[in-house]
Structure 1
Amino acid sequence: MSDQHSRPAARPGRSHREDRLTVGVVGTGYVGLTSAACLAHLGHRVTGVDIDADKVALLRRGEVPIAEPGLGELVNARLADGSLSFTTDLAGLATAEVVLLCVPTPVHSDGTTDLRAFDAAVETLSDVLDRDCVVVIKSTVPVGTTERTARALGRATVSNPEFLREGHAVHDFLNPDRIVIGATEATAADRVAALYEGVSAPVLRTEPASSELGKYASNAFLALKVSYVNVLTELSERLGAEVIDVAETMRLDPRIGTAFLSPGPGWGGSCLPKDTRALLHAAKQAGVDFAVLADAMAANRRQHERVVEKVREAVTGSPDGSLAGLRLGLLGLTFKAGTDDVRESPALAVAALLAEAGAVLTGYDPGVDRTADVRPVHVVDDPTLVAKDSAGLVLLTEWPQFRALDWAQLAELADRPTVVDARNLLEAEAVTRAGFAYHRLGR
């Protein structure tokens, strides 16, 4: 979602060196698999462990079940040279010098974190690991979890949060903005730092609580930024301003920065929603009134409704028009382009509200297979099927491929050639020349 940064690439591997580490990675989901493959790429000998036998079988064959650029190639290369392996048996970590915990830590609607999978992994590891093994927590966990885990395991435990963007995970691991190491023991911190030898990035050494809170603080601030620009989008429409120019005015201020200033249907995905809820819960538990964060979350929910209002007026000609029975085509279902992830996708939040208003929805997304169960949307594998007989198209995910669609053909197929661009992605002149009435945010 944020801009790609240009940094020196990490060295291509150092498997010939004597200082490589024996590393275990518990959990081969998005973070775990990326971490395992990238650490093997950096020259370490890595074993990935997962309780899902089917997933492990796939990975052993070099089949990566995650749509992430470069990850499949990296996994296969490291499997081939023997630096990466996968197993379902935690006993395979008995000789590991470092073990990374990358298990899911979902957050409930009230902001509490579900640590059952995490705690189960910790309990199992206590009887497996060598006494000198350093445990590294990459899962996003509440403040205090690292110290609690260290007591449970009776060994050095370090907080080392991940800052990976979906669609750029391999790049981000090998070319990070920063490496944060939260530890109470210098020798344990040194060993974690050695994992990243060959990676060019500032290293922040701190205590575990600051490292844990820093992860939540970073994601919550990005959510604040997106909510801020989305409220500015509504204000721009009310005052006759152009939000693209307003955002560009902000981007040119180095104190603000360029990223996360694009209007859209709201923020979502696997990280920002759960981390903002968790941080707000932590603030309440600590007796801190974090009203600005609560307001950002409310603004995000309001943004879904605003997009529906925009669609309603565009396709019916009235802010009070009925969507009942109207066929609408959705372009984009994932929470962002470049991924197949629909978790807490703002596109689906908007879709749910449109369906609630009675609209019949057909959707196309380059990252979502037509067999996917993405209710209330009927998924198709051809964008022309989205346009056919539609009362309007709604662009909800910023896939660059959508700019190159044959918009003249889509206009001929549509019953009412109208498009609401909730990402301000398209070139207005090209779309209107093709025959569409074009509506976007913030103007």
Structure 2
Amino acid sequence: MNIAVIGTGYVGLVSGVCFSDLGNHVTCVDKLKEKVEMLQQGEVPIYEPGLKELIEKNSSAGRLKFTTDLPSAVKDADIVIMAVGTPSLPNGEADLSYIMEAAKEVAAAVNSYKVIVTKSTVPVGTNEKIGNLIRSYTTESFDIASVPEFLREGSAIRDTLNPDRIVIGTESQLAQDMLVKLHGPLTDNIIFTDVRSAEMIKYASNAFLATKISFINEIANICEKVGADVTRVAEGMGYDKRIGSSFLKAGIGYGGSCFPKDTQALIQIAGHVDYDFKLLKSVVDVNNDQRYNVIRKLESILEDLSGKTIAIWGLAFKPETDDVRDAPAFEIITSLLQRGAKVKAYDPIATANFKKIFDHPDVKYCKVAEEAAHDADALCVLTEWREFQEISLHDIQSWLKTPILIDGRNIFTEQELADTEFAYYSVGRPSMNKGVREQSPILSF
């Protein structure tokens, strides 16, 4: 089929490229001329393993192209997928201005029957508003559908081509049939719902996963106090089929483009119908506080951070991506600077993106991990990049001015630490806290 994808952000670009790899003819549209030209030249504006290769493959095969010409893309399409951003407003609500503007432009270009799919994450009822808006601009026939995405950054290609399920929300049998044809090669597990339920499935899924993360972090904090090991606790919990093992890895909280935005949006959605979503509010509060445990731990060891140099390894919110949206590193580095510390930071991929947003004279961005750690008073690991796990702890110890290591992602093992002199603190593993245990109280981390 011919497909137009409006928006070449994370979701739109990955989805469009993968649909082209299935044999469809896909035109990806973006307003930013520089971005389109970059894609036309084979350059990729985001870091995602495997994406560049798929773009080159399908562009060469003539199945994938990029343009700023939305009307032409829509006119030639059977299915129009809207994947523009819906960022958070200051009050936590989703900003729908971009998707409604895109809907107007799509409406003006419709010249025959189209299935218009919303893949952006939008509040319940948004697709009805989009449908009404388009009808006010055109008399051509079309159907609306909600097909939410469930991609994980860093494994988005694999998630798209091997999905757990496909959710299709539409009131039209014709639209449903066309979307089954499009998604059928990916999985037989296709769930059909009404549009509003499809919209809610996306928010409910992300909110539940965020809840699991905050829950295991609370368990980790208790483990610190009672002497249990959260990694073993999570393992024991995960074998229960009712719970599952995913998203039970304790750390310094979730970040990225989805969980923070979608939890806040769902709280607002509930508020608009006079429902106080107390559980989800607590999930957000726990997550916001969890990252500050890094600061509390440093202060328990060093006491006064003024004049100290702190090395930061990891700026992206998770490994295998250059996405720094809502990354814990922002709050942690800000807090360090407020306390008079200096920061040396390194990330294998995300440094440039982080520096665009956070450029400060007391933050030195380093080209290699060793440069950041060299002569620092302490090292904080904030992202679990494999590169960090492969560095010898003896090397790290030799680089640091004082062997203090705050492992916010539990990437090092007891065996690796056995013959080192580190003052080491991880998340929810009190038996591994060593070096300054007798000198400082063990804080919940």
Shift in Å, 1:370: 5.6
**Counterpart position of 2:101:** 120
**Counterpart position of 2:439:** none
Q: How does 1:235-250 map to 2 (within 5 A)?
A: 235-250=222-237
Matched, 1:66 2:53: no
Gap runs ≥5 in structure 2 = 136-141, 431-445
Question: Across the two proteins, how many residue pairs are aligned to each other?
Answer: 418
Moved more, 323-332 or 400-409: 400-409
Query: Which SS does the other structure have where 2:108 is aligned?
Result: coil
Give 1:287's aligned amino acid: D
CA contact (8 A) 2:308 2:340 kept: yes
* In structure 2, C-alpha distance between the alignment counterparts of 1:241 and 1:430, rounded to whole Å: 20
**Counterpart position of 1:358:** 340
Shift in Å, 1:432: 4.9
**Counterpart position of 2:155:** 168
Match of 2:130 among 130, 135, 149: 149
Query: Which SS does the other structure have where 1:249 is aligned?
Result: helix
Query: Which SS does the other structure have where 1:126 is aligned?
Result: helix
* In structure 2, C-alpha distance between the alignment counterparts of 1:433 and 1:265, rounded to whole Å: 26
Give 1:132's aligned amino acid: Y
Structure 1 runs (4+) deviating above 4 angstroms are none
Shift in Å, 1:357: 2.0
CA contact (8 A) 1:403 1:427 kept: no
**Counterpart position of 1:409:** 395
**Counterpart position of 2:18:** 38
Match of 1:263 among 224, 227, 250: 250
* In structure 2, C-alpha distance between the alignment counterparts of 1:130 and 1:205, rounded to whole Å: 28
Matched, 1:423 2:404: no
* In structure 2, C-alpha distance between the alignment counterparts of 1:35 and 1:310, rounded to whole Å: 41
CA contact (8 A) 2:71 2:105 kept: no
CA distances 1:44-91 after superposition (whole Å, capped 9, x unpaired): 111111100011111111111111011111111111010111110112
Q: How does 1:197-346 map to 2 (within 5 A)?
A: 197-314=184-301, 316=302, 321-346=303-328
CA distances 1:311-342 after superposition (whole Å, capped 9, x unpaired): 2223x1xxxx1111110001111000110111
* In structure 2, C-alpha distance between the alignment counterparts of 1:436 and 1:156, rounded to whole Å: 62
CA contact (8 A) 2:166 2:187 kept: no
**Counterpart position of 2:376:** 390
Give 2:315's aligned amino acid: L
CA distances 1:7-42 after superposition (whole Å, capped 9, x unpaired): xxxxxxxxxxxxxx1110001111111111111111
CA contact (8 A) 2:216 2:250 kept: yes
CA contact (8 A) 2:315 2:351 kept: no
CA contact (8 A) 2:75 2:112 kept: no
Give 1:385's aligned amino acid: E
Give 1:363's aligned amino acid: A
Give 1:89's aligned amino acid: D
* In structure 2, C-alpha distance between the alignment counterparts of 1:87 and 1:418, rounded to whole Å: 51
Match of 2:34 among 54, 57, 67: 54
Moved more, 108-117 or 59-68: 108-117
Shift in Å, 1:355: 2.0
Query: Which SS does the other structure have where 1:156 is aligned?
Result: strand
Normalised by the size of structure 1, how large is the TM-score? Answer: 0.92
* In structure 1, C-alpha distance between the alignment counterparts of 2:266 and 2:229, rounded to whole Å: 33
Match of 1:347 among 309, 314, 329: 329
CA contact (8 A) 1:95 1:129 kept: no
Shift in Å, 1:344: 0.3
CA distances 1:345-379 after superposition (whole Å, capped 9, x unpaired): 01322222222222211111111246833345422
Query: Which SS does the other structure have where 2:291 is aligned?
Result: helix
Shift in Å, 1:197: 2.7
Shift in Å, 1:310: 1.4
Moved more, 423-432 or 262-271: 423-432
CA contact (8 A) 2:251 2:427 kept: yes
* In structure 1, C-alpha distance between the alignment counterparts of 2:54 and 2:110, rounded to whole Å: 27
**Counterpart position of 2:75:** 94
CA contact (8 A) 1:370 1:381 kept: no
* In structure 1, C-alpha distance between the alignment counterparts of 2:176 and 2:298, rounded to whole Å: 52
**Counterpart position of 1:6:** none
* In structure 2, C-alpha distance between the alignment counterparts of 1:368 and 1:96, rounded to whole Å: 35
Moved more, 178-187 or 400-409: 400-409
Query: Which SS does the other structure have where 2:76 is aligned?
Result: coil
* In structure 1, C-alpha distance between the alignment counterparts of 2:8 and 2:292, rounded to whole Å: 36
Moved more, 341-350 or 213-222: 341-350
CA contact (8 A) 1:311 1:394 kept: no
Closer/same/farther in 2, CA of residues 26 and 139 from structure 1, 3 Å limit: same
Identity of aligned residues (%): 39
Normalised by the size of structure 2, how large is the TM-score? Answer: 0.91
